[in-house]
Structure 1
Amino acid sequence: MERSLPPVSRTAPVLAIVVCHDGENWLPLALSALRRSSVRPRHVLAVDTGSTDATPRLLADAAEDPGPDSSPVLSGVITLSSETGFAAAVAEAVAHATERWGDPGSWLWLLHDDCAPEPDCLEQLLAVATKEPSATVLGSLGLDWTDPRLIVEAGLSTDASGHRQQVATPGEDPVEVLAVPSAGSLVRRDAWDALGGFDPDFPLLREDLDFGWRANAAGGVVLSVPLARVRHARAVTTGQRAADALPGAPAAANRAHGLRVFLVNCSPFSFWLGMIRLPLLAVLRALAFVLLRRTGEARAEFAAVAYLLSGRGGLRAARARRRRNPRPGTVRGLFTGRWARLRNAVRAGVVGLVRRGVENDVALGRVPETVETESAWVTPEALDARENRPVGPDALPAGALRGVSSRGAGLRRPGTLVAVTLPETPAAPVPDDTAPDETPPAEEPELVFVEVNRRRVLAATIFAPPVVLLVVLTALGLVVNRARLGLDLFGGKLLPVGGLGELWTSYLTPWHAIAGGTGAPASATVPVLGTLGALFAPIGGPAALVAILLIGDIPLAALSAYAATRRLRVRRWVRAVVAATYALLPAATAGVAQGRLDVVVVHLVLPLVAAGIAGLLVHADTRWLHVSALSAFGVALLGAFSPLAHGLALAGLLIGFVVLPAPTGLARRIASVGIVVLLPLALLLPWPTVLLKHPELLVQGLGGAAASVSGTDLAGLDPGGPGAWPIGVAVIAAALVAMVVRPTKPAAGGLALAALGAGGLVLVRVVTAVPMQGGAPSHGYAGVPLLIIGAGLLWVVLGSWQRGGTAAVPATWLPKVMAVAGVAVFLALAAGAVVVGAQGPLRAGERPSLAPEVTAELTASGRSVLDLAPDATRQTAGRLPHHGDDELAPTPGTPARLAAWRRALGQGDAPAVQGAVAAAAAAGVQFIVLPPGVDPRAYPPLAKELLSVAAPTSDGRGVLRLLPPAGQVILISPEQAKAAVTGGPAPGNAPGVSPVRADLPDVRVRVSEGPTGRLLVLAAEQEAGWKASVGGKPVPIVPAWGHQVAVSVPQSPSEVTVEYPGTERNLLLLAQLAAVLFTLLTAVPPTNARKSKKRGGHPVA
């Protein structure tokens, strides 16, 4: 396509002004471009603002008379101080030109020393100005200095928060915009004089946006001309030179000036509202940037707020000056509104997905079809030699910036091209001891342009592997869990989950009224559920979170595995099939069906933790602290739910540290390993103290003991119980075939992980221990080790698909056969999950609860419920057992005592029942919930006047009310006290027992005068940590009936205090809080200061 140009004279009435400051790197090309311009300005003035490099010499040479055959490039050079801003420099040049020549021209052409106009740039601007007489400001298209295929500047706009917005110009027609960049802009001189030029309060940055706004408001038209092009290095904004005219950092000035542009030009209502809204939003953004470790942007936001609130912006004076000028024009439609920003964000996200997909294909050796686009920059030497000059989409990548409409709604039309950086694969360097230790300069990455068509957009969004995984496996998960759909699940190993307040109270209190009372810290699962459950407060809180984790285990685990394998050079669909297979491992479906939350969480987190640890061991990453902190957080999450998984992860880390060669320096590697080993322990405080006292948790986990499993089930990766078939043998077979057919280096990591899981399986099946809640010695549950084994085997399979390396494919048809076999394994696991996944005790519906009158009595008294459930005996205060109660370590004698009460109540012997009821009442029990099917009416005749029948639970279980006088605290007579401390039975209905109104664990009562030998007895198990005082003096704790806390009361009236302060635990919580803050600050990846500074103009569709 040929472009016809209107005939114009060789010299135009234009005053060109070139503002320079330390620009020796770009100035020669800029002056050369001016020399070769097809239309010469009448005068060219250069303004040097205190340059300290070769810029003054270059300007002086350009201003010298070269001889009779040509004229100098510059008509003169003005030298100003380095503190002079761009606005003041231009104003000085205009004043100098007027004084020197009288009428220097009817147009001003503003240039920077780091911008080089195309030879016909000025010609194109003047041609458009001739066709559009109302145009007062015309702007050029800015191209990247090093890669002119990229557009870095076009039209400008702003939003209501003062953020600069780029407005693209698709095609070759001029587009009306709010403003244009000052580099290469052409300004009508009479409009310049009427508006007073650039605002001098903008020394650098945003002066062009303010001037364009004022020009539009004055009734003029601001046009962006895509056929007029300049190369622009953007030296200040890309950090290639210092901004001496600014008092602070350029980023801070840019943000502050952006706010000032909006506030000095907007309506009065928007101004007063903005003075409240903008500082508040800026502070919120700054805090968010601090959390994201984007400290430069946070400082810019804080500096902008200080700029506004300190009055340095001169807002009211600037608004008064603008009111003096007529404002017949409008900027309506030229703003970037909320919907336009939303569209731009969505479009940028889609293009980012397309770019990432293309980059992945390129990394796998699949080079996409590229669009050969000619550089939009035309060198002066090549302009005359080229016959047919492409314009529009043929010469300019239309996707280089966001598409726009001509006026009105901001950015609309999507671009058609996207730039993709080709990955660099340098050859391995040959060691040379004689070579100097120098780092070669980084090379610019090579770019290719690919078309953003419908196929690529669909492939990157709707049909992207993660999206397909999420949709398909979500549907599969709903089918598998069809019998338990709901947001409140319980059954099996999962007790009903309490609310947010209950969870946090349980975690922060030093003493728990569970199992007769214990000062053991709550499990680390409680704060995890309490924190994440807060996000689901509108739909049920922690209970909804647990339900979503269980029902959504299949799709969530698949996405976790897919994300964890992103570093592998494997096709995305292969990764997706392997991730889906991992999601359907038999151990995972069985864990869900049996309500084993620990297994489910390990299933979700394991791939990410394994990938993080592997990355620390084999990859050299400059963000080692960030990766270490994230890995430590993942290990802590594993440890919160599964001590066995925590131990195996640390074992794998330490073995890898010893065996594998170090990719980085030894000191950094030791620091990384130390963080991953020690930081999780600090994050889990004070829970590790329980593990030291109860090492059986390492084998049995939080789920407790498990029944023995046959070797056939274990060979099929089935841990036993409902919810799974032993068809995991197909995964084992697939891994064996993959190792034989194409052994690769990544497969070794999978074998190591599988071996680690096998070691954990041996530990679980060989070691027996008494569970923490009591009972016969037993094995642990094999679900977690089998998950690790399955993950390792699938890692082996995935490694056989790795691109590159020395392992070759034996036959071309083999990958297709392997793909079919992989899909068959996935379908087999899916079929098994659909058939048996709905089985198991986990269910949804109304959770079991006590009758309202029973709950009211418990609330008034604060006493306990003894729950004789089929699987365990539990004593809980004020309610039925909830999730987390079984994870509280009881005092040493509590499990045996509860088991003895259960045996006595089940014998049917009257003396045994009476003794158990009396002991339970003395320990604070008010109601007994019987096992299912047991008739409560059989007990009152056995216990005489110690029992009565209460209203049953919501699921029909019988409930007994204990009648002996009791409470959380009781005062017993000397006779009963003597029996209590000498091993006698509990008093039951015997006289001498007086309930005291007090709440545990902090008891402060005043006893009246009475006989010597009385005891104040608490319904709390005796353990270390209790403190008592009488009349302000410490007294020893006396055991009542061998296990309860009691204090001897004197004869005279006294103030008795008994408390459980938990000081040591509080200190551990402070240490945990410090560890959490450290993790939050270091887990966020630091911003790369060099990232995209030179490539800030990547095409964006």
Structure 2
Amino acid sequence: MRPKVSALLVSHDGAPWLPAVLDALQAQTSPPDRVIAVDTGSTDAGPELLADRLGPDAVHHLPADTGFGAAVTQALDRTAALDEAEWVWLLHDDSAPAPDALERLLEAATLEPGVDVLGPKLREWPSLRRLLEVGVTLSGTGRRETGLERGEYDQGQHDQRRQVLAVNTAGMLVRRSVLEQLGFDPHLPVLGADLDFGWRAARAGHRTLTVPEAIVFHVEAAARGRRVTPLTGRRVRRTERRAALHTMLTNCSAAALPFLVLRLLLGSVLRALGLLLLRAPREAFDELAAVAATYARPLRIWKGRRSRARAAVVSARDVRPLLAPPWLPYRHGLDVLTEAGTALARQAGDAATARRARLREDGTALEAAETGPVPAEAQNLPADTGLVARWVTNPVALALAGLLVLALWSARGRLGGGLLSGGALLPAPDSAFDWWATYLSAGHDLGTGSTAPAAPYLLPLAALGTVLLAKAWLVLDVLLLLAVPLAAAGGYRFLLRLTGSRAAALWGAMAYGLLPVLTGAVGQGRVGTVAAALLLPWLAHSALFLGPDETVDRRRRAAWRTTLWLALVSAFAPLAWLMAAVVTVLVLVLGMAGAIGPAAAWRRPATWLPVAVPVLVSPVLLLPWTVATWSHQGFASLLTEAGLSAPSLVDALGWTDIVFARPGGSAPWWLGIGVVLAAVAALVRTDRRRPVLAAWLVLVVALVTTAALSRVEVALASEPVAHPLWLGLPLLVAQAAAVTAAAVAGSGIAVRLSGASFGWRQPLGAAVVVLALLSPLAGVLWWTVSGTEGPLDRRPLQPAPPYMIDAAAQDPSRGVLVVRGSDTGGYTYLLLRDAGLRLGDESVLPPVDEQQPLTEVLGRLATAPEPEDVTELQGYGVGFVYAPAPADPELAGNLDSVSGLTRASAIAPGSRAWQLAEPAANAAPVTFEQSAARPWLLLVQGLALVAVAVLAAPTRRVTR
């Protein structure tokens, strides 16, 4: 005998679908014994449709804020049961069952007597063939899992009955006794109620079965945003995510709860960051709002867990097999990365194809062929030529690979054990996390203590080091030893976009890539100049899209992208910001004067604002340094770069050093003759005058900056005397601008010279071209033969004997005072409490005036020491005094004679060491005066970085 069935239809503004749903109910081969309808405050024709088709007595009217579960409960309360074994068939107003759906569900219920909940196969309506669900479950991250591929069509591949955690309430067939016993969670009014009900049913000992031969077509109007209700609003994602978090936290086991609380919180934050990078701020906000709303109501979670514990008869371990496997979220993450990589590759391929097609339409066939890799058929290669073969036949790839090999060859002697250091470069710390600690800390345990703000370049170094498995030494090795191929790669991308000629871009990339070694920046360990050389092409490439000819969206995104690049360059070399500000002012003045386009267009904010944004906003990305540095270093901090000043390596600049960018004095100046001549000759080419003049504008600003600062001496607060500046950055920019001007003028030069009537221009132009071509080739030859000249080397670190360093690391009151110099030349000292200065520490050294009391004590010890001086030295937390080789004999004699110091093992020949006889009991702890503004500045910086990154990302178009 067939069991009694009551169909219960819940509707809210369902008039578009109700006629089809009611027709489907009437067409059932095994019709329900009665149909009960509940309307929750519909404002359309839905209530009239229900009353006409079912009769007024069969329709219950409830307020609009009534949730699905509450509507079901109230309808059952108002309707007497048909019998004790009655089944309830739940339907939505947008779910139309197939004619035999109920018959198939009842047949399965008869064959499976222990089943209490059954669900059909859901297909998409109106497509009718796409699968939506065949049972559902939850992953460990709270994601609704169907086990289906996106857009998967129904071909019978999921037609096996199986036990599942839950089935959708659209078409759910459930025993009335179970439904009345468990009910639906009132805190899940619309979305997620089915998963919570299924989980609780499983814990209560009830089985849920999916019946694929029963089919229901579902619109999913609420989940897809096609219907807005008072309960979901317009932020469906937030409601759905909040329901998932609530379900996970109220139903998981007690042992898993602490781990799950942390996992869901961190997962939501990471997911929000990912959505921000995809330019989906609304979705990211919904993600964070959902987790905040859930975690803000711990009492609701606690009450929910208590009620579920009272109803449970099955352990959480027994229900675990019905949940998604633990590895599934990681597979989803891998799928996302794969899809993103594929999309980026496809987008890059489409862009390259479009660019080549555009250039073929605008230029000659020869120039069009230079714009990208030559097709396989043009190389007499089969159409299915593999990636390796195409790479081998690509001159750009071969050139960059050759530079990589030469970089490793030229770094001979600097590969192996030890850390890169010397010149202006301090060794890398033990871990990239040390950079994080230095950057985020308000005080630094160096010398007598320092509150100086960490240099902004530590943030990108720390981030890059974290990506490289926290290996800080690897960051410096990559930046310095592979500077040439990395700079050349960036230069090629910029010049290819600017010139449209692969040959000109390749020449320019070779000439530009050599600048880090030709300027002496690599040899002297000038990490600021080297990093700027790697970043400048990307900054310039982004700035190309700021012109008024671009679309509004592209200019807006380019403005924020340029802001990021300018902030990065300025973090390593703050002088870049000053030069960018000058260039920006000149561009705006020329634009509004009508020299570079219509003046009326430049006076509109939509035109000039994207140009000004990078200079105005980039200092915000460098907080808190941009604010705090004025009270510590003043204007001088804008003129120095990352690393030590190394004034002994800075020589007076001659005219050849300025013109050919040789501040380091290592490479011969005549290697740059070809580039300089080509840049001057570029002014003659009238058809490329605008980009050439733009390059010359930057070149002139760089040369004027060099001339203005070449006689300037600065003294940082942590340095006792003033010294001349290292001007590697402005000279690098000047030479880069010269390369750009030459590359722009050189694109298509062969066709232009051959097409003109013969005269003096042909031989002169040919000579300039030959010299320009020979210039980077000569530079490569010099670099290959001489290697990387300069004080930069790889050496083991031993600022003091290891036992002293270990003692100071364990007890900061036993610091090591390292003293160098002599009585005639003067003494310098450094108070160590760990393994010595590392890169980044030079920016947070304590000021000279704060160290003055310790300086005076050391002066007395070196000339006429008294026991009181040793006692005072203890007060600064000094446990050892060390004089590296060659130790000054007069200093050694004075320290040997004073009581309170005993000779200690110095280990290295020619060095001397002493230990304070008594423990430093009177050592004053190093204390720091915390800045109340610093945490807020860091917060502003973090928010600004996220906001600018989101605004710079490609526009995300969402389609449903």
TM-score normalised according to structure 2 size = 0.65
Deviation at 1:484, TM superposition (A): 2.0
1:160 maps to what in 2?
A: 140
Check conservation: 1:484, 1:843, Cα contact below 8 A. yes
The answer to whether the aligner puts 1:849 opposite 2:778 as a matched pair is no
Deviates more, 1:683-692 or 1:350-359: 683-692
| Counterpart in the other structure of 1:840 | 790
Q: Distance in 2 between matches of 1:545 and 1:198?
A: 59
| Residue aligning to 1:110 | 91
1:358 aligns to what?
346
Please give the alpha-carbon distance, in whole angstroms, between the structure 2 residues aligned to 1:209 and 1:679. Answer: 44
Deviation (angstroms), 1:273: 1.7
Shift in alpha-carbon separation, 1:547–1:332, aligned structure 2, 3 A: same
**Cα contact 1:197–1:211 (8 A) shared by 2:** no
Select the residue among 689, 706, 711 that pairs with 2:650: 706
Task: Please name the residue that 2:525 is paired with.
Answer: 595
Q: Which moved more, 1:132-141 or 1:88-97?
A: 88-97
Which of residues 64, 68, 80 in structure 2 aligns to 1:82?
A: 64
Consecutive unaligned residues in structure 2, runs of 5 or more: 357-383, 592-601, 749-754, 756-770
Q: Which one has a larger percent helix, Structure 1 or Structure 2?
A: 2
Counterpart Cα distance in 2 of 1:676 and 1:687: 16
Aligned to 2:263: 281
User: For residues 781 and 527 of structure 2, what CA distance do their matches in structure 1 show?
Assistant: 23
Q: 1:163 to 1:935 in 2, by over 3 A?
A: closer
Cα displacement (A) at 1:299: 2.2
1:648 match: secondary structure: helix
Task: Supply the distance in 2 between the matched residues of 1:104 and 1:305 (Cα, whole angstroms).
Answer: 40
Equivalent of 1:1079 in 940, 944, 949: 944
CA contact (8 A) 1:691 1:698 kept: no
Alpha carbons of structure 1 residues 726 and 835: separation in structure 2 relative to 1, 3 Å:
farther
Alignment of 1:1023-1062 (within 5 A): none
| Structure 2 letter corresponding to 1:587 | P
Structure 2 matches for 1:788-937, cutoff 5 A? 789-790=735-736, 793=739, 835-851=785-801, 863=817, 865-867=819-821, 874-878=828-832
Does the CA contact (< 8 Å) of 1:743 and 1:800 recur in 2?
no
SS in 2 for 1:356: helix
Residue 303 in structure 1 maps to residue 293 in structure 2: yes
Change (3 A) 1:319 1:706: same
1:430-482 Cα distance to aligned partner (Å, 9 max, x none): xxxxxxxxxxxxxxxxxxxxxxxxx99999xx99x999999998777555434
Report the CA distance between 1:595 and its aligned residue: 0.8
Distance across 1 between alignment mates of 2:682 and 2:5: 73
**Alignment check: 8 A CA contact 2:439 2:455 kept:** no
The residue that corresponds to 1:137 in the other structure is 119
Q: Deviations over 1:918-974 (max 9, x none)?
A: 69999989979688xx79679989999899999998776x446899xx99xxxxxxx
CA change 1:367–1:498 in 2 (3 A) is closer
Is residue 336 of structure 2 the alignment partner of residue 348 of structure 1?
yes
| CA separation of 1:831 and 1:129: change in aligned 2, threshold 3 A | farther
Q: What letter is aligned with 1:85?
A: G
Q: Alignment partner of 2:627: what SS? A: coil
> Out of 504, 515, 528, which is 1:586 matched to?
515
CA distance in 1, matches of 2:523, 2:607: 47
CA contact (8 A) 1:718 1:728 kept: no
For residue 510 of structure 1, report the CA deviation from its aligned partner.
Answer: 9.1
Distance 1:207 1:917, change over 3 A: same
Mapped contact 1:156–1:181 kept (Cα < 8 A): yes
1:554-608 deviation line (CA, Å, top 9, x unaligned)? 6766787799999x79999999979975983422674223211111232344345
TM-superposed CA distance for 1:702, in Å, is 4.1
> Which of these residues, 27, 30, 39, is aligned with residue 48 of structure 1?
39
Is there any run of 5+ residues in structure 1 with no aligned partner, and where?
A: 1-11, 65-73, 369-454, 803-809, 811-820, 902-912, 968-995, 1003-1060, 1096-1101
Q: Show the counterpart of 2:573.
A: 642
Deviation of 1:168 after TM superposition, in Å, equals 1.0
- Cα distance in 1 between the residues matched to 2:262 and 2:939: 29
**Match of 1:840, as an amino acid?**
G
* Preserved CA contact (<8 Å) 1:15 1:105: yes
Q: Paired residue for 2:244?
A: 258
Q: Which residue of 1 aligns with 2:190?
A: 204
What is the distance in 2 between the residues matched to 1:224 and 1:570? 61
Is contact 1:725-1:832 (8 Å) kept? Answer: no
Name which of structure 1's ranges 282-291 and 639-648 shifts more when overlaid on structure 2: 282-291
Residue 585 of structure 2 corresponds to which residue in structure 1? 654
Structure 1 equivalent of residue 209 of structure 2 = 221
Distance in 2 between residues matched to 1:1073 and 1:83, nearest whole Å: 43
**Cα distance in structure 2, aligned partners of 1:139 and 1:565:** 57
| Cα distance between partner residues in 2 of 1:575 and 1:312 | 69
The letter of the residue matching 1:305 is Y
2:373 matched residue in structure 1 = none
Please tell me the residue identity of whatever aligns with 1:761: L
Q: Could you say what secondary structure the match of 1:273 adopts?
A: coil
Structure 1 residues 1092, 33: CA separation in 2 closer, same or farther (over 3 Å shift)? farther
User: Are 1:951 and 1:959, in contact at CA under 8 Å, matched by a contact in 2?
Assistant: no
The alpha-carbon distance between structure 1 residues 75 and 846, as it changes in their structure 2 partners (threshold 3 A), is: same
Aligned to 2:376: none
Q: Is the 8 A contact 1:491 1:842 kept in 2?
A: yes
Q: Distance in 2 between matches of 1:261 and 1:302?
A: 15
Give the residue type in structure 2 aligned to 1:875: Y
Change (3 A) 1:336 1:502: closer
State which of 664, 676, 699 in structure 1 corresponds to 2:606: 664
Structure 1 residues 219-267: Cα deviation after superposition (integer angstroms, max 9, x where no partner):
5531557x968462x44334454433469975555344324545676xx
1:865 CA drift (Å): 1.0
**1:490 corresponds to 2:421:** yes
User: Judging changes above 3 Å, is the alpha-carbon distance between structure 1 residues 533 and 724 closer, same or farther for their aligned structure 2 residues?
Assistant: farther
Q: Distance in 1 between matches of 2:268 and 2:217?
A: 35
CA drift at 1:159: 1.4
Contact 2:529–2:729 (8 Å) recurs in 1? yes
Letter in 2 for 1:769: V
Matched with 1:781 is 727
The 3-state SS of whatever aligns with 2:292 is helix
What is the rounded CA distance, in whole Å, between the counterparts of 1:196 and 1:1087 in structure 2? 54
Match of 1:172 among 145, 149, 155: 155
1:816 maps to none
Distance 1:630 1:955, change over 3 A: farther
Relative to structure 1, the CA distance from residue 510 to residue 208 in structure 2 (aligned partners, 3 Å threshold; closer, same or farther) is closer
Q: CA deviation at 1:752?
A: 3.3
Identity %: 21
Deviations 1:347-405 (A, max 9, x none): 2221222123223444555599xxxxxxxxxxxxxxxxxxxxxxxxxxxxxxxxxxxxx
Equivalent residue letter for 1:1079? A
Distance in 2, Cα, partners of 1:203 & 1:289: 25
Cα gap change, 1:130/1:758 in structure 2, threshold over 3 Å: closer, same or farther? farther
Conserved? CA contact 2:817–2:882, under 8 Å = no
**Letter of the 1:206 counterpart:** G
Alignment check: 8 A CA contact 2:570 2:576 kept: yes
Match of 1:687 in 2: 629
Once the two structures are TM-superposed, the CA of residue 891 in structure 1 deviates from its matched residue by 5.9
CA contact (8 A) 1:686 1:1068 kept: no
Q: CA RMSD in A?
A: 6.9
Letter in 2 for 1:495: L
- Does the 8 Å contact 2:560/2:951 carry over to 1? no
Task: State the secondary structure of the residue aligned to 2:145.
Answer: strand
Max radius of gyration: which structure? 1
Contact 1:22–1:51 under 8 Å retained in 2: yes
- 3-state SS of paired residue (2:950): coil
TM-score normalised per structure 1? 0.58
Alignment of 1:423-502 (within 5 A): 478-485=408-415, 488-496=419-427, 500=434
What one-letter code is carried by the residue in structure 1 that aligns with 2:287? E
